[in-house]
Amino acid sequence: MSKITKNVSVMCFHDELCQVYNALMTALSLLREGSKVTIFFGSRGVNAIHKDKMNDLKCLPDQPKEVGDAVMKRMEEMELPTVEELLFMAYKEGAQMLAWPLNVPLFGMAKADFIEGVELANPATYYKEVVIVADMNLTF
């Protein structure tokens, strides 16, 4: 069976662990099928690529603490990779990773706070060069 090649834009606007996880697992699956993948982190999604914040992401923060804790415990028991590991894999497997530059100063961050491989998106060209030409735009 031949690989499916698409040009895919994955947009992550959340810092809720399950949403970030879904975005990264989707991106990795598409990369491994041969697609060109751009992962865009906007709004609170920039916390997912921040070196000091990525390991503190919470699962289901809008639910009672024990619900989120139970999911986190199951994820640990399943030995799932961490967000940091998923980001590293995506970067090494060829994903372009972009942070929305307006959210960086808004949340008191600098490009140096981000993990290796993250670049700042160019607001003047991002939509026409990534979003419009993508075969699929997936948002998380």
How many CB atoms are located within 10 Å of the residue 16 CB? Answer: 20
Residue 111's CB is within 10 A of a number of other CB atoms, namely 11
* The pLDDT value given to residue 14: 95
For the stretch 10-50, pLDDT in tens is: 999 999 999 999 999 999 999 999 999 999 999 999 999 99
- Two tokens, residue 94: 């060829």
Burial of 65 from C-beta contacts in 10 A (0-12 / 13-18 / 19+): exposed
Mean pLDDT of 60-74: 91
Does 66 reside within a domain? no
User: What is the spatial distance between Cα 84 and Cα 22, in angstroms, rounded to a whole number?
Assistant: 14
The pLDDT of residue 1 is 63
Q: Report, as an integer, the average pLDDT of 100-123.
A: 95
Least confident of 8-12, 58-62, 95-99, 127-131: 58-62
pLDDT at 90: 98
Closest CA relative to residue 48, chosen from 13, 93, 72: 13
Is 105 within a domain? yes
What CATH number is attached to the domain comprising 97? 3.40.1260.10
72 falls within a domain = no
Count structural domains, the chain.
1
In a domain, 73, yes or no: no
Mean pLDDT of 40-68: 94
Query: For residue 41, is it within any domain?
Result: yes
Residue 13 domain boundaries: 7-55+82-139
User: What are the tens digits of pLDDT across the range 74-97?
Assistant: 988 999 999 999 999 999 999 999
d(CA 47, CA 67): 22
pLDDT at 5: 84
CA distance 100 to 103: 6
Cα separation, 127 vs 110, whole angstroms: 22
In a domain, 69, yes or no: no
